Amino acid sequence: MSHQYAGPNYGFPNMNTTEESRVTTATQNKVLYTAKAHTTGGREGGASRTSDGRLDVKFSIPGGPGNGTNPEQLLAVGWSACFTSAIKIVAATMKVRPPNDLAVDAEVDLCSGSDGYSLQARLNVSLPGLEREVAQAIVDGAHHTCPYSKALRGNIEIVTNLV
């Protein structure tokens, strides 16, 4: 399933960041965990560190000098890890044992167009040993279960591939 980005322009007219909206959202869902990160300098030579110190990274521009990571790589890593967990949850509800060597390869593209920068992504999922129909049902279910997929679906173009 693929979705075309149709989000707000640079004026961000759809952004609602009032305290009331945050409280309303927070009261509808039980918060299980809150990740906190402090970032300085942005993607060009900046750095970011989580409040617990478990992640401490430097940034560099993709293809440019430096040995830092970039936001697209961080999204790909986090999303693929979350999607793998969603696969396991969906497989369990279907009473299917996921293969030990299941893998998700996430590809996140930074794009530039007439409306500025945007992202698009592909999730390439390997579920060796499962019948294709069963594997596809698991991937589709995971895409509707994974919090990253939920957050991004409808906001960027996403393609899921069973490989």
CATH number at residue 134: 3.30.300.20
29 — pLDDT class (breaks 50, 70, 90): confident
Please tell me whether residues 42 and 63 are part of one structural domain: yes
Please tell me whether residues 88 and 61 are part of one structural domain: no
* Beta carbons within 8 Å of 90's beta carbon, 6+ residues apart: 138, 141, 142, 145
Residue 63 has pLDDT above 50, yes or no: yes
Please tell me whether residues 156 and 134 are part of one structural domain: yes
Please tell me whether residues 45 and 103 are part of one structural domain: no
Distance CA 31, CA 18 (A): 19
Please tell me whether residues 24 and 62 are part of one structural domain: no
Residue 99 has pLDDT above 60, yes or no: yes
Please tell me whether residues 40 and 89 are part of one structural domain: no
Tokens (6 digits) for 16? 């609602």
Beta strands in 3-134 (DSSP E): 37-40, 47-50, 56-58, 103-113, 116-126
* pLDDT value of residue 88: 98
Tokens (6 digits) for 149? 């997929």
Which CA distances in Å does 50 have to 19, 38, 74? 24, 6, 13
* pLDDT value of residue 28: 81
* pLDDT value of residue 25: 57
| Phi, psi of 34, deg, nearest 5 | -125, 120
Please tell me whether residues 58 and 80 are part of one structural domain: no
13 — pLDDT class (breaks 50, 70, 90): very low
Query: Which of 17-21, 46-50, 85-89, 142-146 bottoms out in mean pLDDT, i.e. has the lowest?
Result: 17-21
* pLDDT value of residue 151: 97
65 — pLDDT class (breaks 50, 70, 90): confident
pTM here is 0.81
Please tell me whether residues 58 and 24 are part of one structural domain: no
| Domain carrying residue 55 | 35-69
Please tell me whether residues 82 and 141 are part of one structural domain: yes
Query: Which of 28-32, 92-96, 111-115, 158-162 bottoms out in mean pLDDT, i.e. has the lowest?
Result: 28-32
Q: Which residues of 100-129 are buried (b: 16+ CB within 10 A; e: fewer)?
A: eebebebebeeeeeeeeeebbbbbebebee
Please tell me whether residues 111 and 57 are part of one structural domain: no
